């Protein structure tokens, strides 16, 4: 019969998996906020035909999302601020 060997995972391996999972969640949240910023950009351009303003907003929100990725403590905060700013801009422009 064949030999059966047991492999025991060390606790270091669990910490690596946890760090990978937390990094994935962080990236997913930042990416989701960035996609919402793109949707707001399309709403600004599509409803008011101010594509220049939408383009500027898209560039700034992309930079903010990259800053959130670069600085670990910031996470989705810069992108979230840009999202709220874009929604406020959309509200003010349409009324």
**Cα–Cα distance, 60 to 28 (Å, whole number):** 19
Alpha-carbon distances of 16 from 2, 49, 55, rounded to whole Å: 32, 48, 39
Query: Quick check: 11 pLDDT over 80?
Result: no
Mean per-residue pLDDT for 31-39? 96
- pLDDT given for residue 2 in this prediction: 64
Q: Are 30 and 75 in contact (CB under 8 A)?
A: yes
Kindly list the domain boundaries of the chain, sorted by start residue.
30-94
Kindly state the average pLDDT of the residues 49-72. 94
Let me know: does 48 contact 95? Beta carbons within 8 Å.
Answer: no
Residue 72, SS3 per DSSP: coil
């Amino acid at each position: 019969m064949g030999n059966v060997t047991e492999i025991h995972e060390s606790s270091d391996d669990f910490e690596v998996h946890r760090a990978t999972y937390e990094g994935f969640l962080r990236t997913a949240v930042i990416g989701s906020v960035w996609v919402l910023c793109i949707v707001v950009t399309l709403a600004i351009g599509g409803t008011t035909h101010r594509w220049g303003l939408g383009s500027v907003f898209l560039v700034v929100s992309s930079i903010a999302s990259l800053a959130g990725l670069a600085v670990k403590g910031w996470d989705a905060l810069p992108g979230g601020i840009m999202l709220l700013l874009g929604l406020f801009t959309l509200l003010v422009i349409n009324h």
